[in-house]
Structure 1
Amino acid sequence: MARRLAEAAALTALAATAACGGGDNDGHPSPEPTETVSTGSEEDGTETPTPDESGTTSDGDETDGQIFLGSDSEEPSASDIELPPTQVGKPVQGDVDLQVSKQERTTPLQDVKGTIEGEEAEMIEKCLGEVPPEGCNLIFQYTPTQPGPYTGELTLMLADGSTITAAIHGEATEGPTPDTGPTTPESTTDEPTTDEPITTEPPTSSEDETPAP
């Protein structure tokens, strides 16, 4: 009787141990849950923001000047247009950001003209008509003919007859000169001329001549 009681107590102890130890059906222990670690400090409760949360965007578009066309209640304005440096004989482009009012309608753009050092600049994109709310990039081109700084004006004519003028500045440098190396004159050697010898033969008496008596 005592032996049966001891065996029953041992079985009860084994069952309790299996229940507390956990594990799967094969007897392997269950893996411990992993903790997810978030970037930042837990003490101050801050987390590293993602690029979308930071709110900063990179804008790679660069223009050489800006012109605000104005509206009924806002005066137009224009900044100087600074063209990038170039070499004589090489064209340079000017990129101007045209901006319009966000609240009121802007007068349509009727014509654009650029003059630099007395020469008319080539207009590539005029942005004529209704300028969209997001603005428009006005593009012109100029080819300097001599080194040094140069100036000009960009004139915008609106449909109501008003004009907006922006100053143009730039500078051109001399282009690289081709390295041809020292030029050596071709040496001309005069060869002495030899006169061909002229041989004179003594006159021969003809066979028909008869000796004088």
Structure 2
Amino acid sequence: MAKQLDYQTIREMFTRFEAAEAEPKGELEHTNAYTLVVAVALSAQATDAGVNKATRHLFPIADTPQKMLELGLDGVTEKIKTIGLYRNKAKNVIKMSQMLVDDYGGEVPNSRAALESLPGVGRKTANVVLNMWWGQPTQAVDTHIFRFGNRSGVAPGKDVVAVERAIEDHIPADFQLHAHHWMILHGRYVCKARKPLCGTCLVRDLCQFEDKNYD
């Protein structure tokens, strides 16, 4: 774990990220708040590409909680069977949809506590939905952010909650809205787990990672 970078270094790092891509976007395909929360819940221990492949067949026929309930457990299971842990995820999608219909009038709530009360929705999923749909500066820490935060010194922490707090505490406020997308994309495509592409990294001179790879 690298030591925490200072404010000016972090500001320079995110200034570069912003210059390279001013409006970073999440890669999960969705059409509304409901399909977003379902897609994010399905993405646990799965790739965004894999989720998108399945939901392209699911969302055109079930883009609301009521339509998902009408499709039923067997129908949902069949549509998402290419995704890891699909049986349990299908059950959660049905339970989530029922709860949204019963308790929220079929609408996705916009508070973290309410979102986390939904079956299959944890803190990370709630933060993604709050950020991507309602524009809140929440930080959804996944494996890519956890890795990059600790390697670089942007947001070191022993667990995802510690990294989330470090992001909130140390990344300048004007970068908070897009911070998690910049870090996810950087971790996914540049700061890779096994063989980081340090030679093409925008922030390699600012990063504290000791085992930089320039091959």
TM-score range, shorter chain: under 0.3
Question: Under a length normalisation based on structure 2, what TM-score does the superposition of the two structures give?
Answer: 0.18
Radius of gyration: which is bigger?
Answer: 1
User: Which one has the bigger helix percentage?
Assistant: 2
User: Which one has the bigger strand percentage?
Assistant: 1
